[in-house]
Structure 1
Amino acid sequence: MEEVKRNVVLDIQEVPKPFQWFTLSLQHLFAMFGATVLVPFLVGLSPSIALISSGLGTLSYLLITKGQIPAYLGSSFAFIAPIGVASQFGGPHAAMIGCFFAGIVYGIVALIIKKAGLRWLMNLLPPVVVGPVIIVIGLSLAGTAVNMAMYENPGAPADKLVYSTTHFTIALITLAVTIICSVFLKGFLGIIPILIGIIAGYVSAVIAGIVDFSGIQKASWFALPDFMVPFVTYDPVFSWEIIFIMVPVAIVTLSEHIGHQMVLSKVVERNLIEKPGLHRSITGDGVGIMIGSIIGGPPLTSYGENIGVLAITRAFSVYVIGGAAVIATVFGFVGKVAAVISSIPQAVMGGISILLFGIIASSGLRMLIDNKVDFGNNRNLIISSVILVIGIGGAFIKLSDKISLTGMALAAIIGVLLNLGLPGRKKISGDMFGEENNPA
C-alpha cells in the first residue's frame, strides 16, 4: 500500500491547494469540452445547457457515490441517433421526456443490482450482444458525419445538398490534426486531441472566410440559456413511441458504464464496483441523465477522456472533479462561450465526427476481440449478424399507428432475445470485460 501512496499526487478525498485545484480542474474541463459540446451541436440542443447539465450531473454523481468515485459525466454519444429520431416525432421536448425515462431505467437496474447482484446483468448483456450494438451506434451516424464534412447545408433534403470543396478541405484538416495529436502528443495534450482539432479546424475556417463572428460580437458575457423545463416552458406529453425509441439505449450505456467503472478501478487501485458499489455509480449516472433531461441537456455518461487524465496526472481527488463541474456550470452562463461554440462551422464538427463515430464503432469491435468472442461458433455469428443488419439497415416494427421500434433500439432488443433464446448460451461467472466464461 505504501508503494501505491508514493505514486499518487492527490488521493480520492484529498483537498488540493487552491492553484493546484484550479489548474487540475481546468484540465478535466478541457478533456471533456470538445466531445460534450459536440453532442448538443449535432442534435440541435444548447451547448450551454449541455455544459450546465454536465456540471450539475457530475456534482450530483459525486454526492450519490459519497465522494468515493472520481468520475466526470459528459454528453453521451449513444443517444445522438435516438434523440434525432425522437425529435422528429415530437420535437426536442419529446426527446427530453424519453431521456428522463432512460434515467429511470438506470435507477431500476441499480435497485435490482443492490438486491440480486451483478451477474444477471452480465448474462443479459454479454459482449456478443453489446459489441455489435455499439458498432451499430457508430456506423449509423456515419452518414451524418460525412454530410457535415462535405456539404454547405448538411441538414437540407438530399436533392438540395450543395457540395463544397472548401468545407470538405476544412473537415479533412480538422480530422488530420486530431489524428496527429492523438498519435504523437503525450501527457495531457494527448488527452485533448478533440479540442486541439476543433481549434485547428476553426482557425482554418476563419482563414477560409466561412466563420460568422456577428453572433459573438452581439453576445453578452452573462446570458441565461433557453432552458427546457417541463411544466414551466412546456407541457410534457407522454408517448409510448418515444419510450420505445429512447429507453433501449440504456442497454448499451449501462454496459459502457460498467466498463468505465472497471477501468477506473484499475487506475485508482480500488474496487469501486464493490465500494461504494456499482448500484451507487449507476444511480449517479441515471440521476445525471434525469437532471439533463429536466433542463434540456443531452443524457450524460462517465467520460473515458477524464479517466485518461486521472491515469496521467495521478491526481484522483474528487474535489478536482467537482471543481471542473463548477467551472463547466459557470461557463454555461457565459454568453460569449455559447456564441463561440455556435459559430463553429459544421465542417469542423464533421471532421471530428468522422473520427469519433468511427471510434465508437471500433470500440464495439474491440469489445468482441478483448472478450475473445468466437465467430466460428454459429450462435455468435447469427446474433452479431442480425444486430448489425437490423441496426444499420434501419429496420423498424410498427406496433401501432404512433408506436414503432426502430433501428438501434430494435437491434438491441432482438440481440438480447436471440442471446436468451438460442441454445449454447454460456453463463458469465465474472465480468463481461475479460474474465473467463464458464459453460452453463
Structure 2
Amino acid sequence: MKKIVDVEDKLPIGITIPLSFQHLFAMVGATILVPILTGMSPAIALFCSGVGTLLYIICTKAKLPAYIGSSFAFIAPMLVASKNYGSQAMLSGVIAAGCVYIIVSIIIKLCGINWLNKALPPVVVGSIVIVIGLGLASTAINWAGFNPNFTTDQLKNVPRWSWMTVSIITLAVGVLGSMYFKGFLGIIPILIAIIVGYISAIVLGVLPEQTFHSIITTKLFKLPPFMTPKFNINAMMLMAPISFVTLAEHVGHIYVTNNVVGRDFTKDPGLHRSILGDGVATIFAGFAGGPPNTTYGENIGVMAITKVYSVWVIGGAAIIAIILSFMGPISSLIENMPMPVIGGVSILLFGIIASSGFRIFVEDKIDFSKNRNLILASVIIVIGIGGASLKFNLGGSPVEISGVALATIIGIILNLILPKNSASELEDSKSI
C-alpha cells in the first residue's frame, strides 16, 4: 500500500473494510448522540448518515472525501420544534434547512463565495457557536443528575449518587481519553467513554434489568423507524436559519480538507457541489425521519492521521452504517442508552461546542477593542441564551423564532448594517 492513498485510489477489500470501520467509529459517537438527545431513533440517524454520505459522494462526482453525519447545531431548535409542533413537523424544518443549502449552492455557483463570507464573518459565527453550546449546558447538567431539582421517571427508581457516579465515570473517560489516548484510540475517546459509561450503568444498577433483557432478545433484523414529515411553517422558520451556521462550518471543513489532502476542492469539484451534496443529504434525512446532516471534522482528522484520502473508504463506512442500522440488537443497545451516560458525554461535547466559538475568536484574531465586534458578540450571545423570542403571523399562521435561530438572524442583520468603525474610533484615528 502506498504511503499516501489518494482520493480516487481503490484498495483491496481486506484493507478497505477496517479503514472504513475506523471512519465509522470516529463519527458514530457524535452521530448517534444527536438523535438520542432529541428523542429520535439512533438507527434512523445511522441509516441517514450512510445514505447521505453516498448521496454526497454522487453530488461531488466522487472527488471529495467527506463523511456526512448528524449535526449538533440543530439540537436546540429540534428540541423546541418537536416539543411545540411535534416530531413530524420538526422534520419539515429539517427539509427547509436542506433547501437553504441547495439555494446557497446555486448562488455560489452563479456569484462565488465572497457574499457568504461577508454575511457570516468569524465574529458572528463564533458567537453563534457559543450560543449553541451554552444554550444546551443546563440540559447536560440535568441529564448528568447534578441538578437536585431535576427528576425523571428513570431517576425516581435509581439513587442519585449512582446516577451521578455513572455521569462522572463517563465524563472522566471522555476527558482522559481525549488527553492521553494515542493512535486509533485517540480518534474515538467519546465512543470509548460511552461504552465504559454503559458498562458502569449496568454494574451500578442504573440500567433496569428488563431493559437489558429486551436488548438481548431483540430480533437480529429490524427496520429503522422511518417517519414522514408534516408541513409546519413554524418549524421551518425555526430551523432554516441554523443552516447558515452549519454552512460556515461546512466551508471551514472544506478548507481544512484542502490542506490535509493538498488539493483545492473549492475549484474541483467545486464548493457549490459540496454544499449541494450536504443539502441533498439533509433533505433525504427529513423525508426519512432523521436529523439534519453536516460534514464531520472527526473524519477529516482520521484522514490527516492515516493519509488515506480514498473516497472509496468513506463510501465503505457509509455502507457499513446502513447495514448496522438494520441490526436490531445494536439499534436497541443504542436506543436504551442510560441518561447519565448521555449527560456525562454531553457536558464535554456541549462545552467543546461553546469552546469552539472562542477558538474561532482566537484563531481569527478578533479584536474586541473595536466596538463593532464587541456589540455583535454581546447581542448575539445574550439573545441566543437569554430566551428571547419573536412572534408574528405569516399568512394567518402564528410564527415564532427564538434561540439560536433568532440570534443568527439578528447577528447577520447587525453585521450588514453596522459600520466598520464607530464614530469615536474614527475620531480617535483622525486625532492620531
TM-score band (shorter)?
over 0.9
CA contact 1:188–1:312 (8 Å) conserved in 2: no
**Which residue number corresponds to residue 28 of structure 1?**
23
Deviations 1:312-356 (A, max 9, x none): 111111110000000000000000111111222010011000000
* Counterpart residue number, 2:430: none
**Could you tell me which of 220, 226, 235 is aligned with 1:242?**
235
User: Does residue 223 of structure 1 match 2:222?
Assistant: yes
Aligned Cα root-mean-square deviation (Å): 2.0
* One-letter amino acid of the counterpart of residue 225, structure 1: P
**Cα distance in 1 between the residues matched to 2:2 and 2:52:** 32
Distance 1:137 1:341 in 2: 24
Amino acid in structure 2 at the alignment position of 1:126: P
- The equivalent residue for 1:70 is 65
Query: Which runs of no fewer than 5 residues in structure 2 stay unpaired?
Result: 423-432
The 1:203/1:156 distance shift into structure 2, 3 A limit, reads closer
Query: C-alpha separation between the residues in 2 aligned to 1:116 and 1:47?
Result: 38
TM-score of the pair, normalised by structure 1 = 0.91
1:218 is displaced (CA, Å) by: 2.7
Contact 1:55 1:329 in 2 (8 A): yes
Letter of the 1:347 partner, please give it: P
Structure 2 counterpart of 1:328, one-letter code: A
Aligned match for 1:200, one of 196, 202, 206: 196
Structure 1, residues 75-107: CA drift from partner, whole Å, max 9, x if none? 100010111111122211011001101100000
Of 405, 412, 417, the residue aligned with 1:409 is 405
* SS of residue paired to 2:390: strand
Query: What does the per-residue CA deviation read over 1:244-270, in whole Å, with 9 as the maximum and x for residues that have no partner?
Result: 210010010000000111111111111
Equivalent residue for 2:296?
Answer: 303
The residue type equivalent to 1:297 in the other structure is G
The Cα of 1:229 is off from its aligned counterpart by 2.6
SS of the residue corresponding to residue 403 of structure 1 reads strand
**Structure 2 CA distance for partners of 1:246 and 1:6, relative to 1, 3 Å:** same
How far apart, CA to CA, are the structure 1 residues paired with 2:39 and 2:398?
23
The corresponding residue for 1:137 is 132
Query: How does 1:20-419 map onto structure 2 within 5 Å?
Result: 20-150=15-145, 156=152, 164-211=160-207, 212-230=211-229, 236-237=230-231, 239-400=232-393, 402-419=398-415
User: Amino acid of the residue matched to residue 146 of structure 1?
Assistant: I
| Matched pairs, number | 414
Could you tell me whether the CA contact under 8 Å between 1:150 and 1:163 is conserved in 2?
Answer: no
How far apart, in 2, do the equivalents of 1:425 and 1:191 lie?
Answer: 43
- Paired residue type of 2:223: L
Q: Secondary structure of 2:184's match?
A: helix
Aligned 8 A contact 1:154 1:161 in 2: no
How far apart, CA to CA, are the structure 2 residues paired with 1:413 and 1:266?
31
SS in 2 for 1:248: helix
2:315 & 2:161 partners in 1: Cα distance?
43
Structure 1 residue 357: Cα displacement: 0.4
Distance across 2 between alignment mates of 1:110 and 1:396 = 30
Partner letter of residue 173 of structure 1?
I
* CA offset digits 1:148-189 (Å, max 9, x no partner): 1117996749xx999811111111111111111111112221
| Aligned amino acid, residue 416 of structure 1 | I
Mapped to 2, the partners of 1:185 and 1:247 lie a distance apart of: 38
Matches within 5 A, 1:418-429: 418-424=414-420
Q: CA deviation at 1:217?
A: 2.4
TM-score, normalised relative to structure 2: 0.92
- Structure 1 Cα separation of the partners of residues 369 and 411 of structure 2: 18
Instruction: Give distance in 1, aligned partners of 2:418 and 2:389.
Output: 22
Contact 2:90 2:236 in 1 (8 A): no
Q: 1:120 to 1:425 in 2, by over 3 A?
A: farther
CA deviation string 1:296-322 (max 9, x = no partner): 011111111111111111111111000
2:371–2:421 contact (8 Å) kept in structure 1: no
Contact conserved, 2:366 with 2:373, CA < 8 A, in 1?
yes
Amino acid at match of 2:366: V
Match of 1:438 in 2: none
Secondary structure at the aligned position of 2:398 is classed as coil
Q: Counterpart of 1:174 in structure 2: which amino acid? A: T
Residue identity matched to 1:418? L
Q: Structure 1 residues 282 and 162 mapped into 2: Cα distance closer, same or farther (>3 Å)?
A: same
SS in 1 for 2:56: helix
Q: 1:95 to 1:154 in 2, by over 3 A?
A: farther
1:415 Cα deviation from its structure 2 partner: 0.7
Structure 1 residue runs of 5 or longer lacking an equivalent are: 231-235, 427-440
Q: Does the 8 A contact of 2:158 with 2:206 survive in 1? A: no
Q: Within 2, Cα distance between the matches of 1:269 and 1:333?
A: 37
